[in-house]
Structure formats: structure tokens, C-alpha cells
């Protein structure tokens, strides 16, 4: 029996459309008009012109709001996770969410019927460390700095960058995709 080398997948904006709900929530909270399509960075404090403590308070409030409960799954994610589980034997989640965001994350996985695809979750652990620990076959994320970190520590791991407005740049070792459908169709 061969050892399982799982797929490691980011949660926010890869499995669920978190920014699609965070942006309107933060706009109401701060009286701003940031538009998803014009996001040039995932660093919310830069987008909203707020200090980090105010952003942390906003994110914590969001995690426990009805808006978070309504976060949608990304189109095609169930089929994509099923594909990854069949191809690699397991799917693990690695998220940069703070630990306070873990229970709401698990609730979303259950609500969207995705929990049965997931073997393990890693919260607030560097993604390069997770990929090295589990000897990941593939890593999927929407943030270029995470792709770079995994590439630096894990040359054996294939990299997939989920295209978003805030990640116009790419990485020479990463395959950029627009959707879960593209991952399946390209056999990644």
C-alpha cells in the first residue's frame, strides 16, 4: 500500500467565498465602499485604511455573524474536493484563520456538506510547515505569499494558485486556475 500524500487546500476564498461576504460586512462597519473586483491585496487593513486592532475586531465580529453563516461555497468545490480525495487519497485544510475562526469554519464545512471530504484541518500553522509535515502532493491557495512559502520548503509539492483580484502575480512553479472546474479539467 502506498503512503498517502494528500492535497492541502486553503479554506477562505478557495473552498468558500469568504471575501464575498467580508467586504460588504466591513464596508458597513467602516462606512467604506471597497469593491471585491478592485481588490489589489488580501491585506484588509490596507484596503479599508484601518489599524490592525480594528481589523482584528471586525474579523472576529464577522466570524460570529449571520453574514459568516451565509458564506457561500465556491462553485464546483464539492466536485473538486471529491476529485482531489480520489486522486490523492486525502484532503487536508490549512488555513491562516486565527483559532477563534476554527469553529465557524467547521460549521461552514458541515453546512455545505463538505466535511466528509476532509481528513484533517490545520489552523494558524504556516502552510509550508503543514505541507512538509503531511508530504503534500499538491497545495491550493489564493495568496501568492503562501504559494511562495510552500515552494521554498516543499519542492516535491505541486502548486495551484486560485485566481483572484488580489493575486495578479504568479509563481513560476504554480499553475494559475480560475476555478475548481479548471483543476478537474486539467487533471491537476
Could you give the dihedral angle defined by the CA atoms of residues 118, 122, 128 and 129, in that order, rounded to the nearest 10 degrees?
A: -120
E-only strand ranges, the chain: 7-9, 91-95, 120-123, 138-141, 158-162, 174-177
- Reply yes or no on whether 12 is catalytic: yes
Nearest in space to 8 (alpha carbons), one of 105, 141, 180, 125: 141
Q: Are 80 and 186 in contact (CB under 8 A)?
A: no
Cα–Cα distance for residue pair 45/65, rounded to 1 Å = 20
SS3 (DSSP) at 91: strand
- Reply yes or no on whether 142 is catalytic: no
Q: How distant is the alpha carbon of residue 36 from its chain centre?
A: 16
Cα–Cα distance for residue pair 166/50, rounded to 1 Å = 18
> Which of the residues are catalytic?
10, 12
Amino acid at each position: 500500500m502506498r503512503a498517502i500524500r494528500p492535497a492541502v487546500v486553503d479554506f477562505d476564498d478557495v473552498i468558500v467565498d469568504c471575501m464575498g461576504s467580508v467586504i460588504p460586512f466591513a464596508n458597513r462597519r467602516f462606512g467604506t465602499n471597497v469593491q471585491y473586483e478592485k481588490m489589489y491585496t488580501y491585506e484588509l487593513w490596507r484596503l479599508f485604511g484601518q489599524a490592525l486592532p480594528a481589523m482584528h475586531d471586525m474579523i472576529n465580529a464577522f466570524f460570529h455573524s449571520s453574514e459568516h453563516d451565509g458564506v457561500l461555497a465556491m462553485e464546483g468545490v464539492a466536485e473538486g474536493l471529491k476529485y482531489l480525495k480520489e486522486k490523492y487519497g486525502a484532503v487536508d485544510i490549512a488555513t491562516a484563520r486565527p483559532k477563534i475562526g476554527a469553529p465557524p469554519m467547521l460549521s461552514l464545512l458541515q453546512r455545505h456538506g463538505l466535511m466528509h471530504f476532509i481528513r484533517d484541518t490545520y489552523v494558524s500553522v504556516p502552510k509550508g510547515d503543514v505541507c512538509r509535515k503531511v508530504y503534500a502532493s499538491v497545495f491550493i491557495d489564493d495568496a501568492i505569499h503562501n504559494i511562495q512559502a510552500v515552494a521554498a520548503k516543499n519542492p516535491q509539492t505541486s502548486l495551484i494558485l486560485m485566481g483572484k483580484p488580489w493575486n495578479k502575480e504568479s509563481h513560476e512553479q504554480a499553475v494559475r486556475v480560475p476555478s475548481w472546474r479548471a483543476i478537474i479539467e486539467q487533471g491537476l
